[in-house]
Amino acid sequence: MYSEKVMEHFRNPRNVGEIPDADGIGEVGNPVCGDMMTFYIKVKDGVLTDVKFKTFGCGAAIAVSSMVSELAKGKTIEEALQITNDQVARELGGLPPNKLHCSNLGADALHAAIADYLRKQKEKDKKSAECHCPYCHKPLPLGVNFCQPCGVAIALCPKCKKPLPKNAEICPECGVNINS
């Protein structure tokens, strides 16, 4: 019923496990059979340097997860996003028709992990772009009016509470007129 390749991945799944400090985690479940796949990714300079998975399910689901992890490791985010469930099934030498829709969710789980990573990145970028000391440019928590590293008191916008550049009359962040 299963191809040799499926059996081989099922017996020797690659990259099984969890990445404790994963940059992205994606989980998909099949409500029909209750199988679950969780993918963990580590990303450096846009490349998936590590991919691991934990799958609770049948042999096909495990073989699919294993194949996806192999295909994705070392790929850039853009390349990994192009991995499809169909491609995974082909690489495995086909899947039995009754398992095709139910077990073949590995690419979806991988894409969910990438989406999680991208969302976290965005949040991080937003946070770090939030406030900076206008003198030393080090990050400053929102609402703090004293920069510890350079020891200078900072004027904050009365409306958005972001640091104001020296002698500013208009807040560059929210546009409020400081003197009115």
Residues that bind ligand FES (CB under 6 A): 30, 33, 35, 57-58, 60-61, 102-103
Give me the catalytic one of 58, 102, 157, 174. 102
Residue 58 known to be catalytic: no
Residue 173 per-residue DSSP state: T
Query: Is the torsion defined by CA of 97, 102, 107, 111 positive or negative?
Result: positive
CB of 168 to ligand FES, least distance (A): 59
CA dist 117 and 159 (Å) reads: 32
Residue 171 known to be catalytic: no
Q: Which is nearer to ligand FES, 48 or 102 (CB)?
A: 102
User: What's the token pair of residue 68?
Assistant: 């996806």
Amino acid in the structure at residue 88: V
Q: Which is nearer to ligand FES, 53 or 117 (CB)?
A: 53
CB of 2 to ligand FES, least distance (A): 12
User: What's the token pair of residue 86?
Assistant: 């169909």
- Which among 19, 11, 111, 4 has a CA at the least distance from the CA of 66? 11
CB of 83 to ligand FES, least distance (A): 18
CB of 7 to ligand FES, least distance (A): 15
63: Cβ–Cβ under 8 A, 6 or more apart, which residues?
A: 2, 5, 6, 7, 9, 10, 13, 92, 103
Query: Which phi-psi region, left, alpha or beta, contains residue 155 (left: φ > 0; alpha: ψ -120 to 50)?
Result: beta
Residue 6 per-residue DSSP state: H
Q: Which is nearer to ligand FES, 26 or 57 (CB)?
A: 57
Q: Which is nearer to ligand FES, 61 or 131 (CB)?
A: 61
Give me the catalytic one of 33, 136, 150, 174. 33
**Sheet (strand 36-44) strand order:** 24-29, 36-44, 47-56
Q: Catalytic amino acids?
A: 33, 102
